[in-house]
Amino acid sequence: MVQAKRCYSISTEIRIKDRQFLKVFDDAAMKTLADLGESVQTAVLYHIGKIEGMSPSAVLKNPLRFAEALQKIFLSGSSVLEDKIIESMCISLGISPLNIRGTFEQKIAALYALAFSKKSGSQSADENSLVSYPLEFFSYQAN
């Protein structure tokens, strides 16, 4: 009897990476909000859900949508929370925060690229490829 090998397509591998990355993002976002206090975390998540018209856990599946909701709540103060989320993600992924620059969108794309180039054995990623990394996964159509 011949055993079938378990094969994953490239798209399956990308989906697995996406889920892993979103778990890191979710943990970092929740930790950042928890650092503000449990009642603040609960209130922010409630308002994010209300603003976006979906559950907060659904919003957390899209880092840019989550950041946009934070901006609607905290205005320019959201950049402090975004920086804390990126810092927490860097710690979780073992990446120096000093290597991550740009807008929140660029930082998320850079972390995604660095996290998986690191796991696949690459020592470093080309800085230009980080900025031009495709962001379709992170983008969405605004309502």
Indicate the burial class of 65 (C-beta count within 10 angstroms; 0-12, 13-18, 19 or more). buried
User: pLDDT tens digits for 118-132?
Assistant: 554 444 444 433 333
DSSP SS3 for 130: helix
Other C-beta atoms lying within 10 Å of the C-beta of residue 19 = 10
pLDDT band at residue 96 using 50, 70 and 90 as cut-offs: confident
Do 78 and 86 meet the contact criterion of CB atoms below 8 Å apart? no
According to the model, what pLDDT value does residue 119 have?
A: 52
CA distance 24 to 92: 7
User: pLDDT tens digits for 23-34?
Assistant: 999 999 999 999
According to the model, what pLDDT value does residue 75 have?
A: 95
Fold of 12-131: 1.10.1200
pLDDT, averaged across the chain: 78
